[in-house]
Chains A and B, each alone.
Chain A
């Protein structure tokens, strides 16, 4: 089955710990994106990548880091510098030129 997978579905961490969220796609899409969604709010772009070994900051990159070592994978690390990390994190991918983004199931991160 082709698609985007994110793991885990739920993640709990203590304040001060870094945590890495996984995103994998087997759609052969060039571009991958990370968003954050807070209750009752829209999606805010954290980072995106259009090619392996290259990525750009989105609107709210502070406190986050990413890597794109393989076309299929775009992991997001939430660092201890992120002030309010508790949120629903969504990964998406797209074929460049279409604009159509397809989302994974999301990871719900709770930091206490």
Chain B
């Protein structure tokens, strides 16, 4: 069973600080990695995709991937109260042409004003 692990939190971060969310995965052959944001009662929203080792920046968000350590992280700079949500890590399995995502259980982030 392929697994994606996240610390469930809650993670509390002061407004303006950097929030760091972490995720590990078990399938060494995974090639694509995603971060979703889910507000309470709403559906997940894709916020970052990363495919290569290293960092990928998009505005206040930076995704970091280390395939050797099977680790992917999301940094949120200058955290805002609107960033308070559950963040889901997802890893793409692409076996024999079947593409599907395995999701972690999510980390609940609270930004404290």
Contacts and interface: CB of A to CB of B under 8 A. Distances in A.
Contact of A50 (B42, B99, B104): B99
B15 to A, nearest CB: 25
A97 to B, nearest CB: 8
Interface in B18-49: 31-32, 34, 42-46, 49
Interface string A95-109: 011111111111000
Interface string B57-93: 0000000000000000000000000000000101010
Interface stretch (A13-21, A37-45, A67-75, A78-86): A37-45
B101 A101 contact: yes
B46 A101 contact: yes
Given A41-B105, A42-B105, A103 B45 contact: yes
Contact of B34 (A33, A96, A100): A100
Given A99-B49, A99-B92, A43 B99 contact: no
Given A42-B106, A43-B88, A100-B49, A105 B42 contact: yes
A8 interface: no
Interface residues of B, number: 22
Given A42-B88, A99-B34, A100-B34, A50 B43 contact: no
Contacts of A26: none
Interface of B: 31-32, 34, 42-46, 49, 88, 90, 92, 94, 97-101, 103-106
30 contacts: A31-B99, A41-B105, A42-B88, A42-B103, A42-B105, A42-B106, A43-B88, A43-B103, A45-B100, A48-B100, A50-B97, A50-B98, A50-B99, A90-B43, A94-B99, A96-B99, A97-B99, A98-B32, A99-B31, A99-B34, A99-B94, A99-B99, A99-B101, A100-B46, A101-B46, A101-B90, A102-B46, A103-B44, A103-B45, A105-B43
